[in-house]
């Protein structure tokens, strides 16, 4: 069910949508010019005003738990909406008050496999990855422990220990997968598939690294 807005609230929504739309178009083009932060700041100021108006009427906007945790702010803080994603979530809430309800997180405490190829050893190895409330627990051989959502530090310590080449930005993809598992309630099979796709990306990077000839012994 959508939230019924009064005329002042409708005007704020229109101004937020205009600025979010312009920012989204720039993101789609791969550009972040000087205007984008201004649009987000302007939309954020209006979003806070709209949030507080709705709160006073007993319709306070709800946000995903991970969004509040990532922002490290409560939604009624003036700075909460000074970011693109909570602005998007606010607009979704206005269309459907249950849009940001947290689904059941199905994979906390579950253990997954991250199978990667090592040129050093000439075969694939399995890293054990457990998804926890703050990130991942990564264990392999003698190296392991609690990691953040991007797999730092122990996933990368294991890869470096085995001289495995890995793609730049791997940590960001891991963090995105963790957040999606939380926000969308991904199944065990979906998280395992996502992790193995990232592991295959590592293996492809490792296999395609220069070797032999002048690179012998690197």
Of 143, 152, 153, 147, whose CA–CA distance to 130 is shortest?
147
pTM of the model: 0.60
What letter would DSSP give residue 4? P
Q: Give the model's pLDDT for residue 65.
A: 84
Q: What is the DSSP string of 63-77?
A: --HHHHHHHTS-TTS
Residue 137's pLDDT is what?
97
Question: How much of the chain, in percent, has pLDDT values that exceed 70?
Answer: 100
pLDDT, tens digit (0-9, with 9 covering 90-100), for 111-122: 999 999 999 999
DSSP 97-149: TTTTPPPP---TT-EEEEEEEETTTTEEEEEEEEEETTEEEEEETTEEEEE-T
Q: Which domains does the chain have, with CATH numbers?
A: 7-95 (no CATH), 111-209 (3.30.2210.10)
> Mind listing the pLDDT tens digit for each residue in 145-170?
999 999 999 999 999 999 999 999 99
Q: Are 115 and 196 in contact (CB under 8 A)?
A: yes
Q: How confident is the model at residue 212 (pLDDT cuts 50, 70, 90)?
A: confident
Residue 102: band (very low, low, confident or very high) from pLDDT cuts 50, 70, 90 = confident
Task: Say yes or no to pLDDT of 125 above 90.
Answer: yes
């Amino acid at each position: 069910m959508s939230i019924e807005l009064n005329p002042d609230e409708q005007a704020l929504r229109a101004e937020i949508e205009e600025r979010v739309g312009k920012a989204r178009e720039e993101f789609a083009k791969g550009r972040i010019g000087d205007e984008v932060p201004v649009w987000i700041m302007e939309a954020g100021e209006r979003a806070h005003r709209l949030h507080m108006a709705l709160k006073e009427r007993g319709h306070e906007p709800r946000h995903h738990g991970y969004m509040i945790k990532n922002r490290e702010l409560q939604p009624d803080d003036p700075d909460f909406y000074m970011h693109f994603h909570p602005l998007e979530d606010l607009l979704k809430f206005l269309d459907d008050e249950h849009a940001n309800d947290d689904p059941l997180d199905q994979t906390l405490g579950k253990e997954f496999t991250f199978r990667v190829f090592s040129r050093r050893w000439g075969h694939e190895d399995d890293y054990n990855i457990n998804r926890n409330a703050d990130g991942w627990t990564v264990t392999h051989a003698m190296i392991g422990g609690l990691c953040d959502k991007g797999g730092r530090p122990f996933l990368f310590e294991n890869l470096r220990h085995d001289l495995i080449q890995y793609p730049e930005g791997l940590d960001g993809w891991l963090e995105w997968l963790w957040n999606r598992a939380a926000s969308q309630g991904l199944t065990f099979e979906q998280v395992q598939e996502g992790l193995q796709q990232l592991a295959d990306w590592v293996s492809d990077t490792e296999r395609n690294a220069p070797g032999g000839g002048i690179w012998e012994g690197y």
